[in-house]
Structure 1
Amino acid sequence: MPVTLEEIANKDQWLLDFDVLLVPVEKMRSDSSYALLVLMPKRDKIVNPPGGEHWFVLSGYEPNDEKPLSIDGTYLKQHPGQPEVILLDFLTWAPNYEGKKLVLRSQPK
């Protein structure tokens, strides 16, 4: 499912050159729920993010709940044109994503 990018800081504008998707991982034997956050470079875009960790906040999967996460700019620089996949652990029962608007925004300092 698509993730909407909102309130992206100037230093994180490179993220706008990616399609961001959340893919729930189902049928895991665990009390936690998992999802893959996938960053796919948009067609014909050359993305050159600064290296290092970039911090963001994911929201919309549960009311009043947010998940901080980092995206590795160094990996993206070393693998241009390749997707980045991040495993997220929500430490809850599997949320129902249907009909929810997922939002990723820059983490305020």
Structure 2
Amino acid sequence: MRSKKYISHHGFSVSAKFHSGTSKGKKIVSVIDGGRPCHLILHGHYMYEDHSVLAVGYQQYIYEHWYGDTYQTYIRIADGWTSKASRFVWGGCKGSWNYVYVELK
């Protein structure tokens, strides 16, 4: 609550949004496109298991197939395990995500 008071003191208002589910990364892409990083909480991920990371960007790829193209999103993360945000998690990965982002108004 101290952070909210500090932000308010400087003329801003803040709200946090909580979401769950991967939605193939689409919602996180919209948050990042809005210029906001996103706190991503992974559950049951094959590599991270239950781990919290910061989503800072994304890459989208088109996989061409004879039965129709598939679009896939990979979320660029800062995982705290390396010194650079150079790893990605797949937007359609097995497991579930919760994520929170903060809006300054």
TM-score between both structures, scaled by the size of structure 2: 0.31
Hey, which of these two has a bigger chunk of strand by percent? 2
**Structure of higher CA gyration radius:** 2
TM-score between both structures, scaled by the size of structure 1: 0.30
Hey, which of these two has a bigger chunk of helix by percent? 2
